[in-house]
């Protein structure tokens, strides 16, 4: 079970904002790079160009200026990006309190990703007093706005009983919604709920199906769990070769457990020709990814 998904820090372009709120772009001056803007979307795009160095010299300070103007024009994407600049200290002194302020405005403007970020800040007590109930409410709003990460974190709140009464059935419901919105972590945790019979009747076949979707969405934990299912023959015919394949993908996505299990497959010659050299390689990567078992296996094989 993945215990938390932290929303990736992502600077939003105007097009990405339109996608997140379910709109399509109308007209755009996509090709021109200017130093002034009149609409929120234009200011977000100009800030995006400066923060990424696309078509202009990279300049965090100028990016900040345009995101500020976009936010002043009530652009959710502008406020969200401004919050991130303060959170990361890009073009400005790092300030969680100001980051929270701009995420709040973006959330008030119904940008789901910012509601979810706001929930995380309350859950972690960054820029504000720690408050699981408020975190829960912001995850709820994010999910209502069809932001998949909000649905996932809402599912976790119910699964762990944080800010709300513990309820596996409701956790399952929100992991399902996250998965329906193509959130790999939601699909993986949905698979886990079916795997363990939490909030639903235990079902290896359904667990396998959701792990497959999670892995197809390049969620590393889903690939790892899929590898386990094939290695153990749960919900599918036992197949070390396929287990190896999914551990390989999980490791490629930097999931430490996938690297450790891949090392073990090479050490034991399961589904592949035995190779201590490759086993050490994957144990080493697991160790680099801070998995104690990977470090232990590396040291044991190296003797």
- pLDDT at 23 (0 to 100): 36
Its pTM stands at: 0.86
- pLDDT at 274 (0 to 100): 97
Give the closest residue to 74 by CA, choosing from 107, 98, 109: 109
CB 168 within 8 A of CB 175: no
Q: What is the dihedral of CA 164, 167, 172, 173, to 10 degrees?
A: -60
- pLDDT at 11 (0 to 100): 56
CB 216 within 8 A of CB 232: no
Cα separation, 10 vs 280, whole angstroms: 35
Location of structure tokens 């086993």: 279
Location of structure tokens 């190779």: 275
Give the closest residue to 64 by CA, choosing from 52, 80, 77, 81: 81
Q: What is the DSSP string of 174-240?
A: HHHHHHHTT-HHHHHHHHHHHHHTSSS---HHHHHHHHHHHHHTT-HHHHHHHHHHHHHTSSS---H
| DSSP code, position 3 | -
Location of structure tokens 């649905």: 151
The pLDDT averaged over each successive group of 10 residues in the chain (303 residues) is 44 47 39 75 93 92 95 96 94 96 98 96 96 98 97 96 97 98 96 96 97 98 97 96 98 97 97 96 97 96 86
Q: Which two tokens stand for residue 14?
A: 């105007």
- pLDDT at 12 (0 to 100): 55
Domains of the chain, each with CATH number or no CATH = 1-24+34-130 (1.25.40.10), 146-217 (1.25.40.10), 219-303 (1.25.40.10)
Q: Which two tokens stand for residue 168?
A: 């596996």
- pLDDT at 33 (0 to 100): 55
């Amino acid at each position: 079970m993945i215990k938390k998904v932290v929303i990736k820090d992502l600077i939003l372009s105007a097009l990405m904002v339109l996608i997140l709120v379910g709109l399509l772009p109308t007209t755009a001056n996509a090709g021109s790079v200017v130093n002034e803007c009149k609409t929120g979307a234009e200011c977000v795009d100009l800030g995006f160009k400066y923060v990424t160095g696309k078509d202009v010299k990279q300049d965090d300070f100028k990016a900040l200026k345009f995101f500020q103007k976009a936010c002043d024009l009530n652009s959710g994407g502008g406020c969200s990006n401004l919050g991130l600049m303060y959170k990361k200290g890009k073009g400005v002194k790092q300030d969680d309190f100001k980051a929270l302020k701009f995420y709040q405005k973006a959330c008030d403007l119904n940008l789901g990703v910012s509601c979810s970020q706001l929930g995380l800040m309350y859950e972690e007590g960054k820029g504000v007093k720690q408050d699981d109930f408020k975190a829960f409410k912001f995850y709820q709003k994010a999910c209502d706005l069809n932001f998949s990460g909000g649905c996932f974190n809402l599912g976790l709140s119910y699964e762990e009983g944080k800010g709300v009464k513990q309820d596996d059935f409701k956790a399952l419901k929100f992991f399902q919604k996250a998965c329906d919105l193509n959130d790999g972590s939601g699909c993986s945790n949905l698979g886990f709920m079916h795997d363990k019979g939490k909030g639903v009747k235990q079902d290896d076949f359904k667990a396998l199906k959701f792990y497959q979707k999670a892995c197809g969405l390049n969620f590393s934990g889903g690939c790892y769990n899929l590898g386990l299912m094939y290695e153990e023959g749960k919900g599918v015919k036992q197949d070390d070769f396929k287990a190896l394949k999914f551990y390989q993908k999980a490791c490629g996505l930097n999931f430490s457990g996938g690297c450790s299990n891949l090392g073990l497959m090479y050490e034991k010659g399961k589904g592949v020709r035995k190779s201590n050299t490759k086993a050490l390689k994957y144990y080493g990567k697991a160790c680099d990814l801070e998995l104690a078992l990977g470090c232990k296996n590396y040291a044991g094989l190296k003797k």
